[in-house]
Amino acid sequence: MADPARRSSVKQTAILSAAAALAAEVGYAAVTIEAIAARAGVGKQTIYRWWPSKAALFVDVYDQLVVVTTDDAGMVSAPRQVRAILEQVFALYAATPAATILAGLIADAQHDPAARHAVLHGLIGGRGPVLATPLARARAQGGLPADFDVDWAAEMVVALIWKRVLSDGALDQAFIDRILASVFAAVAS
């Protein structure tokens, strides 16, 4: 993949915007690199120079759509931090094509090695700290037991969300409540 620092920011923005817009219009599966290039006003070779696959491009689109902020100041309870993250993510899923993109990436990862690589290294590896970091910080500050398994808790949250995204289930406050009850059940008892 080309060095991101050498990309034209104008072209990169146009490509990412075109990909997001097309995913919103026709769904992830129907979007082609040719259509993205045409919408962005760039050559197909420009896209492939910067992203080795459609999935790699859409991991970057997802990253741009799903920007989450956390409260890094002071001591905020782990359940409150996770609730705030989930509320942001679910709101973004409702307002953008991020959930459609996520479902498409997961589906492609089942049969396409390039998509599997993009999901494993871009989504799972690249976005893992979104949940793990605040949980680890809460554990380090004494807000969670020393033996609280941060990685397992983060994995459980992601698995529950991905299942709902793939099955068109409701991403609402009731679901957030159930996630929090499951993740923090051992802490409450």
Q: What is the pLDDT of residues 101-126, one digit of tens each?
A: 999 999 999 999 999 999 999 998 88
- The model's confidence at residue 71, banded by pLDDT at 50, 70 and 90, is confident
Give the tens place of pLDDT for each residue, 135-166.
999 999 898 999 999 999 999 999 999 999 99
Stronger pLDDT, 2 or 9, i.e. the higher one: 9
Nearest 10 degrees: Cα torsion 92, 94, 96, 101: 100
Supply the DSSP symbol for 72: -
Question: What average pLDDT is seen over the chain?
Answer: 92
Dihedral of CA 110/42/125/94: which sign?
negative
54, 128 contact by CB (below 8 A): no
Contacts of 130 (CB under 8 A, 6+ apart): 68, 70, 85
Contacts of 93 (CB under 8 A, 6+ apart): 66, 99, 102, 165, 171
Supply the DSSP symbol for 7: S
Residue 183 has pLDDT above 50, yes or no: yes
107, 150 contact by CB (below 8 A): no
Domains of the chain, with CATH numbers?
Answer: 4-51 (1.10.10.60), 63-188 (1.10.357.10)
Radius of gyration, alpha carbons of the chain: 18
Residue (of 15, 3, 104) closest to 57 by Cα position = 15
State the Cα–Cα distance between residues 62 and 56, nearest whole angstrom: 10
Residue 74 has pLDDT above 90, yes or no: no
Task: Give the pTM.
Answer: 0.89
117, 111 contact by CB (below 8 A): no
58, 22 contact by CB (below 8 A): no
